[in-house]
Homo-oligomer: A and B are copies of this chain.
Amino acid sequence: MDQRLHFITLATRNLDAARAFYQDGLGWEAKLDVPGEILFYQVAPGLLLGLFDADKFAEDLGRSAAPDVSGVTLSHNVGSPEAVRRTVESMASAGGTVLKEPAQGKFGGIFHAHVEDPNGVVWEIAHNPGWRINDDGGVELS
């Protein structure tokens, strides 16, 4: 199995709230939007984030109960502590809930915050001076 992810799909109870947050609030553009079913956003080269109706998500896995999203954090890195603050303000204005205000983290000089989207998906917004992406897409962590 190649070391490669092509889709991340999240069980989503309220697709309209997701659309209002990501699209109307943050200005993201959907790759595909099937109301009541699924919303796809491209979030990295070759990678789509799928927000899938929670009942259909459960059905697809052969499970009876629509699950909440738990045990997962999505991180978005920005270039400075100030950009962390600005991004968190944008997310709060768009309807996100700030779980952890921007602050110095415990490791590696990271400055970060946590914001929950309207369906309980947790985003970490971070400035990490030891992280970078090379021209070839390779990630370096120091």
Contacts and interface: CB of A to CB of B under 8 A. Distances in A.
A5 B7 CA distance: 12
Given A40-B141, A87-B1, A9 B46 contact: no
Interface residues of A, number: 58
A10 interface: yes
Q: How many monomers of this chain does the complex have?
A: 2
A45 B42 contact: no
Interface of A: 1-11, 26-29, 31-32, 40-49, 54, 57, 61-62, 67-77, 87, 90-91, 99-100, 114, 122, 124-125, 131, 133, 136-139, 141
Given A45-B133, A46-B139, 18 more contacts: A1-B87, A5-B8, A5-B44, A6-B44, A6-B75, A6-B131, A8-B75, A9-B74, A31-B141, A40-B141, A44-B44, A44-B45, A44-B46, A45-B136, A47-B139, A57-B73, A61-B73, A71-B72
